[in-house]
Structure 1
Amino acid sequence: MNFLRTRKLAGYVEGWVSIIINSLLFLAKLLVGRSLGSVAIIADAWHTLSDSLTSILVVISFGLSARPADDRHHFGHGRFEAIGAVIIGTLLAIVAINFFRESTHRLVHHQGVTYSTFAIYLFMISAFLKEGLALFSFWLGRKINSASLAADAWHHRSDAIASALIVLGALVSKKYWWVDGVLGLGVSAFILFVVASILRKSISYLLGESPSVHLENQVRETILKTDHRLNSVHHLHLHEYGEHKEITVHVRLPAEMKLDEAHEIATRIEKVLREKLKLEATIHLEPSLTEIQTEEKLD
């Protein structure tokens, strides 16, 4: 439970820091845009404010995923976080498609970008702030292994790249009008590649992935060390609900072992898996027949 609260706090911190910085950037761009009479800067200001939507989704998804188990959801609500990652990934795909359309339009119509010196400095500041947000979100995402924070981080980075491209395009557009459009196409393709990875991982998680080979080996080694009479571990099935992980596994014990003794071993296995691997286990016991018993059964 403490870890769930820490995880929820991490999501809230990332979300609210992003919302605050995006809101401040929105106000700065809006004021500058109105003072300069620049429709482009005003439009970008509203785009920056709309970026807060993904951060709001982060806050909501982390709040929902931290809700405890109830009568209808016995394993908690941890998968809400993955649902949030899918939604953010979809929004990021829309951003990439808009990048592609705008870049194609500029190339087809031979359009460069022109901004005042003050506006260029504003976009430079925006690029640094958004990249800082991206790095912060990536760092937190790695700390708690969160797909939704990684998705939000890529959204921040896409905005940083967009602002950097505006600066670069404005600086070289007099000689190379096509630079902004070409780089925009490359960035849109890269973002779509990232989106595909985010969606693939999140959807696969929601559908229910098999445990990794590494985790399977860890489980087998941990179980077999519990009691020397255990001679087989198989049929491992993992069910993940955020940080709550359920695993079912079949183990074999000597057929002549008494039920209460076998039950005691199963209870020990569950305790060890909970303490060492943070897995809630359900152990299915099977008899391990000797060669003589197998022959008698066949007869």
Structure 2
Amino acid sequence: MTRLLLRFFVKNHENYGDAAVRASVGKLAGATGIVCNIILFLGKLLAGILAGSVAIIADAVNNLSDASSSVVTLLGFRLAQQPADQDHPYGHARYEYLSGLMVAVLILVIGVELVKSSVGKIIHPEAIDFSLLTVGILVASVLVKLWMSLFFGTLGKKINSLTLQATAVDSRNDVVSTVAVLAGCLVGYLCHINIDGYVGLLVAVFILYSGVNIVKETISPLLGEQADEELVEKIKRKVLSCEEVLNVHDLLVHDYGPGRCFASIHAELSARLDPMEVHDILDDIECEVLDALNVHLVIHYDPVLPDDAEWAEMSNVVGEIIKEVAPEVTMHCFRMVGGAKQKNLVFDLMVPYDLKKPNQELKKEIDAGLAAKNKKYGTVIRFDGKE
């Protein structure tokens, strides 16, 4: 069914890297969610009224909220499709993250309302009129929601959308809640025990728990989370595939929404190369990364002297000292400045965030290790990572 819908409503649907295709997939998901959830709301509302069950009615209202969430999803993809402008030079793709956050907030609101109604039902229980029609509607709802969860999850993975993945989780929650409601009705009918309110409360707690998790997942990219490790490795491999590039470091990735990724990286090349040649080499790599990974990359040129005997020797010496002081720390941008009598070794250190040792203590230990080997050299260290 998913493939059929994509074939009918999304042109070139297999080209998921294309921004227009991605937006069309999102709009299809939103429209499908609106139609399905409205049908489910009407069916469950009828079943809840006939049975007199607060749990079924709450489940129906939950589907109505899901329809609202689908409207938010539809609007989110439409707004995210807007091109960059003077006020937003990096585009509007983060609207998709905001729509995912709105879906999560709606889930939390529904959870809170369901807690209220369920507690009221526990305090003031009412008899439930159970029928085959009620069972049929709830079973049909479970099957539809199960398909919707798979549908949104599949599309979410294909276009790497947090919004659709959150919607898939919401649909899965509906499956769990409806099964719980159905089980409560069956227990009440067979055992003559009214647990409608308690079932509703359990469903509400489950919905709130999943809502909190979705909020965390959607807020993280808005705050600026760590870049995906696979993407980081792909960028590094692409840059290092150029034979003139000796090493890379200081890769920073900035996510402005799906399809709007900007990055910068330092690349070490021989200082013997002509600057114009280096410019052409790096420019070509930037274009290749954009074509292959859809990442707007800026490369900073770090000139190094690997064929200089003194440079190579002192680079190795400092590297060994750093391994003894803090093996987790890595060095880059190594260079030497000064005259014949006194020289400074200038370099950067990448310090992990979880390293307990203060930066100034690291410098003191490195200076002490270097002084023990050769007092001719001092250090100028810039620390990356933790403060």
SS of the residue 1:239 aligns to: strand
The C-alpha deviation readout for 1:146-189, integer Å capped at 9, x for no partner, is 11112222333333333333322111114263654444444333
Comparing 169-178 with 279-288, which one deviates more in the overlay? 169-178
Contact 2:81 2:93 in 1 (8 A): yes
The C-alpha deviation readout for 1:77-130, integer Å capped at 9, x for no partner, is 111100001110011112222333334444445567443332332222223222
What is the CA-CA distance between 1:133 and the residue it aligns to?
1.8
Is 1:59 paired with 2:74? yes
Comparing 212-221 with 40-49, which one deviates more in the overlay? 40-49
Comparing 141-150 with 129-138, which one deviates more in the overlay? 129-138
Is 1:12 paired with 2:54? no
Q: What is the RMSD of the two structures over their aligned residues, measured on CA atoms?
A: 3.0
Comparing 245-254 with 163-172, which one deviates more in the overlay? 163-172
Distance in 1 separating the partners of 2:17 and 2:139: 40
Is 1:279 paired with 2:314? no
Distance in 2 separating the partners of 1:170 and 1:28: 16
What is the CA-CA distance between 1:10 and the residue it aligns to?
1.0
Please list, as runs of the form range in 1=range in 2, the aligned pairs for 1:211-230 lying within 5 A after superposition: 211-227=227-243, 229-230=244-245
SS of the residue 2:253 aligns to: strand
Distance in 2 separating the partners of 1:26 and 1:106: 21
Is 1:259 paired with 2:275? yes
Please list, as runs of the form range in 1=range in 2, the aligned pairs for 1:140-289 lying within 5 A after superposition: 140-174=155-189, 175=191, 177=193, 179-227=195-243, 229-241=244-256, 242-289=258-305
Contact 2:51 2:128 in 1 (8 A): no
Distance in 2 separating the partners of 1:210 and 1:134: 28
What is the CA-CA distance between 1:281 and the residue it aligns to?
0.4
Higher share in helix? 1
Match of 2:336 in 1: 294
**Do the aligned partners of residues 239 and 192 (structure 1) sit closer, same or farther apart at CA in structure 2, a change above 3 Å counting?**
same
One-letter identity of the residue aligned with 1:122:
I
The C-alpha deviation readout for 1:194-228, integer Å capped at 9, x for no partner, is 2232222211101112223333333222211212x
Match of 2:329 in 1: none
**Do the aligned partners of residues 23 and 167 (structure 1) sit closer, same or farther apart at CA in structure 2, a change above 3 Å counting?**
same
Kindly tell me the number of residue pairs found equivalent between the two proteins: 297
TM-score for both structures, normalised by structure 2: 0.68
Question: Of 91, 100, 105, which residue of structure 2 is paired with 1:85?
Answer: 100
Distance in 1 separating the partners of 2:246 and 2:126: 72
> What's the % identity of the aligned pairs?
30
Distance in 1 separating the partners of 2:85 and 2:110: 37
Comparing 209-218 with 147-156, which one deviates more in the overlay? 209-218
Distance in 1 separating the partners of 2:149 and 2:21: 20
Distance in 1 separating the partners of 2:40 and 2:202: 26
Comparing 256-265 with 206-215, which one deviates more in the overlay? 206-215
What is the CA-CA distance between 1:266 and the residue it aligns to?
0.7
What is the CA-CA distance between 1:44 and the residue it aligns to?
6.2
**Do the aligned partners of residues 25 and 235 (structure 1) sit closer, same or farther apart at CA in structure 2, a change above 3 Å counting?**
same
SS of the residue 1:172 aligns to: helix
What is the CA-CA distance between 1:32 and the residue it aligns to?
6.8
What is the CA-CA distance between 1:62 and the residue it aligns to?
0.4
Contact 1:113 1:166 in 2 (8 A): no
What is the CA-CA distance between 1:18 and the residue it aligns to?
1.5
Is 1:73 paired with 2:72? no
**Do the aligned partners of residues 71 and 2 (structure 1) sit closer, same or farther apart at CA in structure 2, a change above 3 Å counting?**
farther
SS of the residue 2:269 aligns to: strand
Rg (Cα) greater in structure:
2
Comparing 122-131 with 78-87, which one deviates more in the overlay? 122-131
What is the CA-CA distance between 1:63 and the residue it aligns to?
0.5
The C-alpha deviation readout for 1:259-296, integer Å capped at 9, x for no partner, is 10110111122122223322110111122144357264
Distance in 1 separating the partners of 2:220 and 2:299: 25
Contact 1:11 1:59 in 2 (8 A): yes
Higher share in strand? 2
For structure 2, the 5+ residue unaligned runs are 1-15, 312-334, 345-387
SS of the residue 2:18 aligns to: helix
**Do the aligned partners of residues 47 and 2 (structure 1) sit closer, same or farther apart at CA in structure 2, a change above 3 Å counting?**
closer
SS of the residue 1:173 aligns to: helix
Distance in 2 separating the partners of 1:218 and 1:33: 53
Comparing 116-125 with 277-286, which one deviates more in the overlay? 116-125
Distance in 2 separating the partners of 1:109 and 1:38: 13
Contact 1:19 1:56 in 2 (8 A): yes
